Amino acid sequence: KVLEHPSFLLHRLEACVSTRRRDCVWCWSGLVTLVESSCRLYLTSFRQTSMSINLTNLPKRLLARSRLRSLFPASPRPRLRPLSRPPNRAVRLTPGVACAPRVYHQFIYPEQLESRLDLLAFSATLLLICVGVSLGDYWVEQKPSQTPTQDLAAISEKDIMGQEAHPGRPGNLTPDQEEKLRQLWGHVLKLCGLTDENVNGMTEAVAGGAADAASAGDTNSQTGSDLTPPSAGKAEKEKPKKKRISLFGKKHKAVENESPTQAQSSPGLMTHIKEGDGEDKYGQTQQFFDALANQTPQSLRATIWSMVKHDHPDALLLRFLRARKWDVDKALVMMISTMNWRLTEVHVDDDIMKNGEAGAVADEQAADGDAKRLGADFMAQIRMGKSFLHGVDKSGRPICVVRVRLHKQGEQCEESLERYTVYLIETARMVLAPPVDTATIIFDMTGFSMANMDYTPVKFMIKCFEANYPESLGAVLVHKAPWVFQGIWRIIKGWLDPVVASKVHFTNNVKEMQEFIEPQRITRELDGQEDWEYKYTEPIPGENDRMKDTATRDKLLEGREHLVRDWEVATMRWIATGGSAEAAAVQVERESLAQKLRVDYWTLDPYLRARSYYDRIGVLQDGGKIDFYPTAAPPPGRVTVETSADDLD
């Protein structure tokens, strides 16, 4: 059957290679054996029919079967040649045997067998070429990118903090890039309602807000600070039930009831920003105008600083500038639309990071159906280790491993998948330390099948990195991708920005992965040398008690407000002085304030963010210290509150 239909074997080989089944080796050995045995069979037949054989003793049915048997059924039946034109070869006749059958078998069959052998050899060669070309195309596309590894290998973990800042980052800007940063800061400060006339009155406004809140007896509000997201102060109130399935549907009433930003009254600021940009892949221009229409300057300012966290304020704006190729207007649109997305759609700081894993466990045990489903789905993904952070690559970038085989389409609802994705990205941001500002993602495709393929979360992840977390990917390693993933990758690659697609590399074994990660830092699960495996640690009772200490939190927020105000005043002076000598002195002041803001955030962090698995195992430690390879996790138990309101000045 295989010899008569060569495509059968080709399809069999394609099916085995596509699923990486072990019996594909059988196909290759079977192909070689089949061609070899077929050639031997027909060569033997050729020799036998060329000899003098008495065929009269054979049953007539065998002779008839021999005549009709053919490699290709569609070929015409051979005809007898007349004896008047004998061939150029000796003919040996046997006495007492009829000549016609023997002549037929001597002269006609050898010629037919010779043509059959030629056709068989041609078909087998063509079959091998087709299979080789098909597999060659596959392995060429799967070949990992030949990224230079000299610089990667030269960087050790001890040298990370001593590295020079990468181009386009704080401390390493060209004069033109620095001017673009000044322009973007000027637009952002205007949208936040900060001008030369009113910035000096911010201290009185802060103090007045604190006094009003204290007189009203609102102990749960964010007194003395405008830096927390607007809905964070109302988080302890009863939330309206969500009637939507998707996370991205309606806006919170707290945002809808706010007055629009005053930036709309400054048409000069929006002169070059137009709707319907052909490059607006995610509709961010419309989100930009929605933010201006629905958010107050105070809420926009609070959302920006809640995203800054421990990062350098300049570094956040530079991410958007680099993502938009230093186009100030496009960077502004991207940044403001991201703030609108964080505040009104996913509620990053006032819900996902504030409630964290402990909140999901509480929801999991709740009676309400929607909350219970969300909590259970969220925790199921964390407990199974569908994705986790562990270790660093050769460039000191944190590594996020995604075990694709653990995802089954439909097991978790779409909203929980989106919350889990945002939670993991935000947690990864917590372990970034300058000059490292990107992460590496490993998609472990071991055991992948079409049951694990789900385009919806893939699209959401792509949108997050391209639109809302720009310049956050250092490298993406697709490890041990099966052949069936080739077609899937062509689809996904079409969705990616070319810059993001260029960061994707395919690795088929641990040797290829060592181009990016040291072998002793590759886990045994990925065929490396590190003896480590993911084991989830449940939330510890009392680990988030400091979040209940609202008095201490508010005093810390008030102190941070003063630092932020000093930064904004210094930035306005830096913008006004341009590239003069005075601007250099102001820049030194800004760098000092950025460092103070970083230290201050880690003091405030336990009062705003729920503890995570990485806090419990010792990766994230007090004061912002990060240990990617903790020797031992801290002992379980109730967390002691070390800071109180009386300890603060």
Q: Are residues 507 and 557 in the same domain?
A: no
Q: Are residues 193 and 100 in the same domain?
A: no
Q: Are residues 508 and 547 in the same domain?
A: no
Confidence category of residue 124, pLDDT binned at 50, 70, 90: low
Say if 413 falls within a structural domain: yes
Say if 318 falls within a structural domain: yes
> Who contacts 488 (Cβ-Cβ below 8 Å, separation ≥6)?
453
Residue corresponding to tokens 């999901």 = 360
Q: Are residues 245 and 183 in the same domain?
A: yes
Query: Which structure tokens are listed for 349?
Result: 């700081």
Say if 395 falls within a structural domain: yes
Confidence category of residue 214, pLDDT binned at 50, 70, 90: very low
Q: Are residues 100 and 13 in the same domain?
A: yes
Residue corresponding to tokens 């062509």 = 490
Q: Provide the pLDDT for residue 579.
A: 74
Residue pair 609/600 in contact by the 8 Å Cβ criterion: no
Q: For position 475, which CATH number holds?
A: 3.40.525.10
Q: How many domains does the chain have?
A: 3
Q: Are residues 562 and 512 in the same domain?
A: no
Confidence category of residue 631, pLDDT binned at 50, 70, 90: confident
Q: How far apart, in whole angstroms, are the C-alpha atoms of residue 553 and residue 227?
A: 12
Q: Are residues 330 and 215 in the same domain?
A: yes
Q: How far apart, in whole angstroms, are the C-alpha atoms of residue 123 and residue 125?
A: 5
Q: How far apart, in whole angstroms, are the C-alpha atoms of residue 373 and residue 357?
A: 14
Q: Provide the pLDDT for residue 254.
A: 37
Say if 370 falls within a structural domain: no
Q: Are residues 469 and 548 in the same domain?
A: no
Give the residue from 459, 492, 526 where a domain finishes: 526
Query: Which structure tokens are listed for 344?
Result: 């009104």
Q: Which phi and psi (to 5°) does residue 507 adopt?
A: -125, 135
Q: Are residues 489 and 452 in the same domain?
A: yes
Question: Residue 602 is which amino acid?
Answer: W
Q: How far apart, in whole angstroms, are the C-alpha atoms of residue 326 and residue 144?
A: 30
Give the range of the structural domain holding residue 408, as residue numbers without chain letter: 153-160+386-526
Say if 165 falls within a structural domain: no
406-442 per-position pLDDT tens digit: 999 999 999 999 999 999 999 999 999 999 999 999 9
Give the residue from 526, 559, 584 where a domain finishes: 526
Residue 494 CB neighbours (<10 A): 8
Whether 261 has a pLDDT exceeding 60, the answer reads: no
Query: Which structure tokens are listed for 152?
Result: 């990667």
Q: Provide the pLDDT for residue 195.
A: 76
Whether 139 has a pLDDT exceeding 80, the answer reads: no
Say if 293 falls within a structural domain: yes
Q: How far is CA 100 from CA 76, 85, 110, 304, in A?
A: 20, 14, 15, 100
Q: How far apart, in whole angstroms, are the C-alpha atoms of residue 131 and residue 346?
A: 49
Residue pair 265/303 in contact by the 8 Å Cβ criterion: no
User: In 3-state terms, what secondary structure has residue 474?
Assistant: strand
Total-model pTM? 0.69
Share the mean pLDDT of the chain: 75
Q: Region 188-215: what's the mean pLDDT?
A: 60
Residue corresponding to tokens 């069999």 = 12
Q: Region 595-621: what's the mean pLDDT?
A: 98
548-566 per-position pLDDT tens digit: 999 999 999 999 999 999 9
Q: Are residues 320 and 421 in the same domain?
A: no
Q: Are residues 569 and 472 in the same domain?
A: no
Say if 369 falls within a structural domain: no
Residue 322, classified by CB atoms within 10 Å of its CB into exposed (0-12), middle (13-18) or buried (19+), is: middle
Q: Provide the pLDDT for residue 42.
A: 45
Q: Are residues 244 and 339 in the same domain?
A: yes
Say if 359 falls within a structural domain: no
Confidence category of residue 448, pLDDT binned at 50, 70, 90: very high
Q: Provide the pLDDT for residue 203.
A: 42
